[in-house]
Copies of this chain bind each other. A is one copy, B any other.
């Protein structure tokens, strides 16, 4: 049922991909591990695949979309925090200068996220993200942020699921930020979304148990944190992994170091016209060491410009 015949007989499962090397490598890998009786056959329960999110499934420029959400929260909460007018990074944000606010380094983003997420219950937070995801628009592409997802990658996830793979997100983004919309947009249920984790506290408010978000981080799901998170949440090594930056390098190393057939892919942002063009020197989504390792190890590298017919869905 999930063998090669099904793959071959189906209409093109990846219509947004050009017939270049990456598409051929993907289809060949899926055929190889799903062919019953083949020495490379992988049983259903081990067909675990992991996808980075920012820059791999949706855009991450001009700044991480979760940060755009947090900035919108800063603006909404500003009336309750008059002190922010004098306090960075909030003052710069409220003055409409997000790049200035973020220029001081990662601790600025951490401060913004902590100030805008902490103290809320998980239900309140999910409702706020849901509301944002249905209204907030990307500054360049004139569409909702959640519509800035890559159609070729949606097709790829769907193709894999049709062949019995279990698709996971393994992202540096906040897990609760993603879970509010990933099922609707990607078809990935909350329990298959792994991300950076903040501490939470169980307490009873008005006779009802709630979980309250705290400002303290528990897990930063990036770089070395990705294999750690995969082991912690899934407990099984993926057989394929998909990323776009140096933050995904260790996940691809961990995935491909397992025995049997393995697949690793990097999305390379080469398309300034339809999306963005950046790699080795980028602040967001820097792709440098992992690009070199892809060459030595034979990982598949997708050039958005050459390998994708379209970038976004209509």
Q: How far is the CB of A226 from chain B (nearest CB, A)?
A: 8
A183-198 vs B, Cβ < 8 Å mask (1 yes, 0 no): 1000001110100010
Q: How far is the CA of A175 from the CA of B229 in the complex (A)?
A: 13
Shortest distance between the CB of A278 and any CB in chain B (Å): 26
Give the contact stretch, choosing among A19-27, A131-139, A140-148, A231-239. Answer: A231-239
Q: Residue A200 contacts which of B208, B232, B233 (CB distance < 8 angstroms)?
A: B232
- Alpha-carbon distance A253/B209, docked complex (angstroms): 7
Task: Decide if A176 is an interface residue (CB 8 Å cutoff).
Answer: yes
Q: CB distance A179 to B235 under 8 Å? A: yes
Q: Does A224 contact B (CB under 8 A)?
A: yes
| Seed contacts A190-B235, A191-B234, A211-B254; 13 additional CB < 8 Å A-B pairs | A45-B183, A176-B235, A191-B191, A191-B235, A200-B231, A201-B224, A202-B228, A202-B254, A209-B227, A209-B250, A209-B254, A211-B227, A211-B231
Q: Which residues of A contact B (CB under 8 A)?
A: 45, 48, 122, 175-176, 179, 183, 189-191, 193, 197, 200-202, 208-209, 211, 218-219, 224-225, 227-228, 231-236, 250, 253-254, 257
